[in-house]
C-alpha cells in the first residue's frame, strides 16, 4: 500500500526534501567557495613567486633544497614517533624542492607561542582551582595498578581523580539524547557545550530551543565547536547567529586558509556540562545520524557517560580552560564552582578521572592510558574503535597481551565512513590475528564508539580514536574509571555488540590482489599523515 494517501501528501514531502537539500547545498557551497577562494589566491601567489624566483636565479632552488635538508634533519632528531618520522621523510625525499615547504606548512608540530599559552593556562586553571573540590585519595587502599594509572593521568595532564560521583552509561545515541535534553532543561546557572560537529537537524534544533529558553531565563550558555568539523554542517558565521540568540558562541581554530598555523590541531572533544554538577562525555556529536533519526551508514553505534557529582567539576574546568585560552578571556573560575545540593548524595564506589589530551604539550596522554590498560590487563581487554591505525608500540602491546593469554577483542565498523581509512584499518588485522587478537566488524552499521574495558575493573569512554590524529594531533577527552558501577554495564554492552558483529578471520582478509596489496603498503607507510 502506498504510504502517501494523497497527491498533496507527496507534494508536501517533496517540498520539504527540496528545502532540506537546498539549505545544505547552500551551506556547503558558500563555505567551500569561501575556503577555495582563499586557498586559490595563496596558491597563485606561491606559484608566481616560485616561478619568478626560479627564473631569477638557480640559488633559489638550492635554498629550497636546503630547507628540505634542514627539515629532514629536524624530523630525524625530534622526539617523535618513528612512524610519523618515516611518513614525512618519504615525501621529502621524493620532492626535494617542495618537500621542505610542505613540511613547514603542514607537518611541523612546533609549539608556537599561542599553543604554549593554551597549555600554560590550562595547567594554571587546574592547579589553582581544581582542588577546591576535594579530589579522591588515590593512596588509601588502592590497588597498585589503579594507583599507577590514576597517578600518571594526574601528573601527565593535570586532571584530578574524584570520588563522590555517580556515573551512568549510555549505550546509544538514542539513550543519550533524552538524558542530555532533560539535564539541559534543569540548568539553573550555566550550560557549557563543546563538540567537534554540530549539524543542523532534529537533534540540534531540539537542543538549540532548550538553550534559547534557558538563556532567556538568565542561565549562562556557552557553545564551542570546531570549525573544520562543522564546516559542512553549519552556515558560515553561525556563531554570530547564536550570539544574537543570547548564547555565547566561539569557533575553535577557524579553517579559512591553507597557510593556517595549526591546520591539524582540531577540537575533537565532546563535552556537555550543566551547573558543574552534571557532565556528559563520549563519542556522540550533535547530529541526527548519532541518534539514528537519519540513516547514513546503517545503524550508528555510539556511547557516552554521564557524571553527576565532583567529577563533573573536572569536566567544567576542561571546557573553561580551552575557552579562556582560545578567546583570551580570563574568567573567575571560582564563580563556576558547583553549589552544594543536599538532595543529591553522589555516592558510588570507585574512582572517576575525566582527563584531557592536548597536542600542545607533546604528552600523548590518551595513547599512554590505552597502553597501560592493555599492558596491565590480566584476564581480558575489550576495545571498540571506528579506526584502527596504531603505532608500533600499541601494536606490540596488543600482540603481547594476546600471546600472554589475555582475551583481547576489538570491534571495528563493517560499513566504512572513509574508505581509505577503512582499507588501512584492515592492514593491521593480519599481525593482530596472528598474535591471537580476536577482531569483529559491526555488521548493522558504523561503530563510532571509543571505549576500552579490562578485567571488570577499568574502563575508558571518550572521544579518543585509535588513530594518529586522535592520539597525536587533536584535542581529546575521556573518562577513566576504576571499580565504578558502570564498568560492568560497559562490558555487557561490548559483549552484546560483539554478538551483532562478524568475526574476522585470516581467510576473510586474504583475498587481496597484488595491486591492492601494493596500495595497502603505501597507505600503511603514510598512515601517520591520514
Q: Which residues are part of the catalytic machinery?
A: 268, 270, 275, 448, 450, 455
As a whole number of angstroms, the distance between CA 46 and CA 60 comes to 13
The grid coordinates of residue 117 equal: 599559552
As a whole number of angstroms, the distance between CA 269 and CA 253 comes to 13
What is the side-by-side strand order in the sheet with 407-413? 351-357, 476-482, 458-462, 451-454, 380-384, 407-413, 438-442, 501-503
| Coil, helix or strand at residue 361 | helix
As a whole number of angstroms, the distance between CA 508 and CA 529 comes to 28
Complete DSSP assignment for 170-200: ESSHHHHHHHHHHHHHT-SSEEEEEES-B-T
Burial category of 345 from C-beta neighbours within 10 Å (exposed 0-12, middle 13-18, buried 19 and up): exposed
Residue with cell 540548568: 187
E strand or H helix at 426: helix 419-426
Longest CA span, the chain: 78
495 phi/psi in degrees, rounded to 5 = -65, -35
E strand or H helix at 458: strand 458-462
Cβ contact 88:468 at 8 Å: no
Burial code of 418-437, b = ≥16 C-beta within 10 A, e = fewer? Answer: eeebbbbbbbbbeebbebbb
As a whole number of angstroms, the distance between CA 284 and CA 196 comes to 9
Amino acid at each position: 500500500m502506498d504510504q502517501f494517501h494523497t497527491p498533496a501528501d507527496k507534494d508536501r514531502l517533496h517540498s520539504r526534501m527540496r528545502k532540506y537539500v537546498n539549505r545544505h547545498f547552500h551551506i556547503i557551497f558558500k563555505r567551500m567557495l569561501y575556503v577555495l577562494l582563499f586557498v586559490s589566491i595563496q596558491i597563485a601567489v606561491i606559484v608566481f613567486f616560485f616561478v619568478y624566483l626560479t627564473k631569477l636565479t638557480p640559488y633559489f632552488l638550492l635554498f629550497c633544497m636546503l630547507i628540505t635538508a634542514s627539515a629532514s634533519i629536524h624530523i630525524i632528531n625530534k622526539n617523535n614517533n618513528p612512524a610519523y618520522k618515516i611518513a614525512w621523510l618519504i615525501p621529502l625525499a621524493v620532492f626535494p624542492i617542495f618537500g621542505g615547504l610542505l613540511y613547514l606548512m603542514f607537518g611541523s608540530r612546533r609549539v608556537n607561542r599561542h599553543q604554549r599559552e593554551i597549555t600554560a593556562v590550562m595547567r594554571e586553571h587546574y592547579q589553582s582551582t581544581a582542588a577546591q573540590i576535594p579530589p579522591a585519595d588515590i593512596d588509601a587502599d588502592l590497588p597498585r595498578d589503579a594507583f599507577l594509572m590514576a597517578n600518571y593521568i594526574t601528573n601527565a595532564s593535570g586532571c584530578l581523580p574524584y570520588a563522590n560521583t555517580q556515573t551512568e552509561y549510555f549505550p546509544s545515541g538514542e539513550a543519550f539524547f533524552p538524558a542530555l535534553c532533560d539535564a539541559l532543561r534543569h540548568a539553573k546557572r550555566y550550560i557549557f557545550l563543546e563538540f567537534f560537529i554540530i549539524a543542523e537537524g532534529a537533534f540540534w534544533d531540539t537542543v538549540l530551543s532548550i538553550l534559547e529558553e534557558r538563556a532567556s531565563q538568565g542561565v549562562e550558555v556557552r557553545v564551542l565547536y570546531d570549525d573544520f568539523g562543522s564546516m559542512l554542517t553549519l552556515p558560515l558565521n553561525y556563531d554570530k547567529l547564536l550570539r544574537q540568540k543570547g548564547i555565547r558562541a566561539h569557533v575553535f581554530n577557524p579553517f579559512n586558509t591553507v597557510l593556517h598555523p595549526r591546520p591539524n590541531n582540531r577540537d575533537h572533544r565532546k563535552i556537555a556540562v550543566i551547573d558543574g554538577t552534571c557532565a556528559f562525555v563520549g563519542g556522540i556529536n550533535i547530529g541526527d545520524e548519532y541518534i539514528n533519526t537519519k540513516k547514513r551508514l546503517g545503524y550508528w553505534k555510539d556511547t557516552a557517560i554521564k557524571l553527576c557529582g565532583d567529577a563533573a567539576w573536572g569536566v567544567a574546568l576542561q571546557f573553561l580552560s580551552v575557552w579562556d585560552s582560545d578567546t583570551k578571556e580570563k574568567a573567575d573560575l571560582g564563580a563556576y564552582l558547583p553549589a552544594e545540593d543536599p538532595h543529591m548524595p553522589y555516592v558510588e564506589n570507585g574512582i572517576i578521572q575525566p582527563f584531557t589530551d592536548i597536542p600542545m604539550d607533546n604528552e600523548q596522554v590518551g595513547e599512554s592510558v590505552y597502553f597501560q590498560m592493555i599492558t596491565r590487563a590480566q584476564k581480558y581487554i575489550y576495545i571498540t574503535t571506528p579506526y584502527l591505525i596504531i603505532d608500533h608500540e600499541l601494536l606490540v602491546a596488543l600482540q603481547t597481551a594476546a600471546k600472554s593469554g589475555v582475551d583481547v577483542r576489538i570491534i571495528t565498523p563493517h560499513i566504512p565512513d572513509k574508505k581509505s581509512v577503512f582499507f588501512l584499518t584492515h592492514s593491521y588485522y593480519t599481525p593482530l590475528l596472528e598474535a591471537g587478537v580476536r577482531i569483529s566488524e559491526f555488521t548493522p552499521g558504523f561503530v563510532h564508539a571509543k571505549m576500552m574495558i579490562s578485567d571488570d575493573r577499568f574502563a575508558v569512554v571518550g572521544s579518543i580514536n585509535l588513530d594518529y590524529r586522535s592520539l597525536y594531533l587533536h584535542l581529546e577527552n575521556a573518562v577513566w574509571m576504576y571499580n565504578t558501577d558502570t564498568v560492568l554495564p560497559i562490558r555487557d554492552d561490548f559483549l552484546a555488540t560483539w554478538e551483532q558483529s562478524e568475526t574476522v578471520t585470516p581467510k576473510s582478509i586474504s583475498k587481496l590482489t597484488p595491486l591492492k596489496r601494493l596500495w595497502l603498503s603505501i597507505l600503511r607507510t603514510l598512515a601517520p599523515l591520514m
